[in-house]
Amino acid sequence: MTDDRPVLLETRGTCLHITLNRPRALNALSHTMVGLLDAALARAEQDEAIDTVLLSGAGDRGLCAGGDIRALHDDARASGRASLEFWRDEYRLNARIAGFPKPYVALMDGIVMGGGVGVSAHAGVRVVTERSRVAMPETAIGFVPDVGGTRLLASAPGELGTHLALTGRSVGAADAVLCGLADYHVPARLLPALTEALGEPADQGTPVAGIVQRFATEPPAGELAAQRGWIDACYAADTVEEIVRRLRGSGVAAAETAADELLTKSPLALKVTLAAVRRAARLDSLEAVLDQEFRVSCRAFEHPDFVEGVRARIIDKDNAPQWKPGSLAEVDDQEVARFFAPLGPGEQELGLAPVSTDAPTGEGRAG
């Protein structure tokens, strides 16, 4: 019989193997799954018999395609609040993973997007395969990168993270490693053997990274390293409008394509995303970034672009969203700033970091 539990737990030797088990939904995260993951990690942290945690996804299509977007959409249309509590628990889980005191290995095989990045890219050991496609595609649905993604992208070399944050493009194994989203490439055919090796008693005492390295190979060639010139020059601009202008004037066909892509995204989401990545670069901890992202997510959830973006891209699939406002020029700077303001009366901050580490008000560049 097929096991329909959304999260499967199996202990092999000293390794707790956690499997996201919604393959027909590309293992999209529900609130229940977030709770199960958090509880499993809490137990593993205290269990002296567990030395290592391994995360994978059921099926062969991907680790996790993110949160349950349809459920979030329906909640937003109904003016609900369940999504905010989902994000509150999800972001706390992201912080737990980043600070987990034992080796945590994430197999980022296949599609890894949004919330899938949150449960994997903060891991101590991150493995991609030739099938991996890693992305934070939120601007396409009128949303903003979250789950600590703005910190990850802000830390990428040069302006690669800004490029990926704004366009929402997915990257393969080599580019995921280049951008600091992954550590090792292991061919997909070797994942079962790697899983076995992590649980074998013979490997106790061997550093987990050393076990993974035995299976690691050079990934197929990526694209971003050769594009650093125009990406760094264009995305170093302080505004989205100037980024688009530089892309258009670069004389590079790939840059022109990127400009075309940007102009299909939510103008408001683009401007908030640029501000979020720049601010994240100056915050001193993942917890502070998650606090900022929670504020931004709460505001984005209230804005009509989110419901409209999900409708156009995922539900009706007409790919013709009617953004409000409809152009970059119409986006008010005060509206962008509102996304980062403290939550109002009756709203509870995430509160992972001390208040003293809150975001500065400037819009300076990421490093």
Point out the residues that are catalytic.
67, 115, 138, 146
Number of alpha carbons in the 13 Å side-chain half-sphere of residue 274: 26
Taking a C-beta distance cutoff of 8 angstroms, is the pair 268, 328 a contact? no
User: Locate tokens 């650093």: which residue?
Assistant: 228
CA angle 58, 59, 63 (to 5 degrees): 60
**C-alpha separations of 144 from 50, 59, 210, 268, 312 in Å:** 36, 28, 36, 10, 17
The Cα 267–Cα 308 span in angstroms is 13
Closest CA to 287 of 97, 46, 68: 97
Q: Which residue has the tokens 């901890």?
A: 285
Nearest to 130 by CA among 170, 189, 183, 180: 189
List 116's β-bridge partners, or say none: none
Q: 28: helix, coil or strand?
A: coil
CA–CA dist 288, 148 (Å, integer): 9
**Which of 355, 340, 348 shows the shortest CA–CA distance to 277?**
340
Q: Say which residue the tokens 């995260």 belong to.
A: 29
CB contact at 8 A, 37 and 18: yes
In angstroms, the CA 284 to CA 282 distance is 6
Sequence letter at residue 211: I
CA–CA separation, 122 vs 181, rounded Å? 8
Instruction: Report CA torsion sign: 68, 92, 301, 279.
Output: negative
> Do residues 20 and 58 touch, judged by C-beta distance below 8 A?
yes
